[in-house]
Amino acid sequence: MAEISKFFNSAPGDLRTYQASDFADYFGNVLSSGLLHTDNIPALEVKCEGTDLRTYVEAGKAIIDGYGYENTSDLYLTHALPEATLDRIDRIVLRLDKRNQSRFIKLFVLQGTASATPVAPTLQRDEFIYELSLAQIRVRANTSTLNPADLIDERLDENLCGLVYSLISIPTSQFQTEWDSFMEGIQSEGFASASEFAAHKANGVSHITGQERTDWNAKETPDGARKKVEQTDFRVYKSGKDANGIFTTIEYKRSDDKLAVRSILSGGTSPNYTTRNITYYGLNGMTVEKTTNLTLTYDADGVLISEV
């Protein structure tokens, strides 16, 4: 058994030397692997221009197993040529490689396998290599360009990437014991007991007047708030027009020009796309509040009959 302490300055005759892995081990014990963020908005967003077989990753920072990473400008990645008849799905990953010949964190294209029903490639996570998936994109057969509508952001998926958070837990059981002891001590000084407080809280009449209750009931209801949102005048922007004249991306913006909803068609073959991805944004136009994936179904005549 050995005692380990770190980190201290060296002194003559008493050398204190440390490996990079010592620092990574320390930070890996207090911070999770993931993307560093501001107000839950991560960087390192993956985009594509739709003019060639390249995606690019914007600037940002990350931590993987205690090792730090930073990309300071747009970094372009080239995807391999597609198959003639089958689609595939590639992932854009941030890879930690601790092997001696590597010792880096870099961005890579993790190429998928072409198939009639392609799936995204599995991330490598073992003793030496650990990958975070920033996004996946469908590489369609017999084409020389990538479609922005086929790009799926995976940064907020904690199983694939996620945001950095603290691994230091709070001893809630200890706090609860101390709180209970505190409450028992002050009850003898004239403070209400838990049962007395609960009874007082349940007595709604003693808290508000009849007029106050009437005024409160007249306030906006959840149903009224819902109708107000539904009746909001949105500005509609369409993009990603395909050969059949179908716009694959539709954005709804509020009067302040901030994004409210984005709808993206993907999968299948135009005009019979198979998936609609709908993303709802907060009032700042950037924070993702909710994401919904709908499956599109067509009848024998190719007419859309359901989105579920």
Residues 236, 250: contact at Cβ < 8 Å? Answer: yes
pTM, two decimal places: 0.52
β-bridge partners, 64: 67
CA pair distance 4, 2, nearest whole angstrom: 6
Residues 195, 58: contact at Cβ < 8 Å? Answer: no
pLDDT value, residue 189: 65
Q: What beta strand segments (E) does the chain contain?
A: 34-35, 37-38, 41-42, 46-47, 54-57, 60-64, 67-71, 75-78, 88-97, 104-110, 129-139, 151-153, 235-241, 247-253, 259-269, 272-281, 288-298, 304-307
pLDDT value, residue 138: 97
Where are the domains positioned within the chain? Answer: 34-153, 229-307
- For 275, list phi and psi in degrees, rounded to 5: -140, 135
- 10-residue block means of pLDDT along the chain (308 residues)? 66 74 72 84 92 96 91 96 97 95 95 97 96 97 96 94 80 70 68 72 70 75 60 81 89 87 90 91 87 90 88
Class of domain 34-153: mainly beta
pLDDT value, residue 113: 97
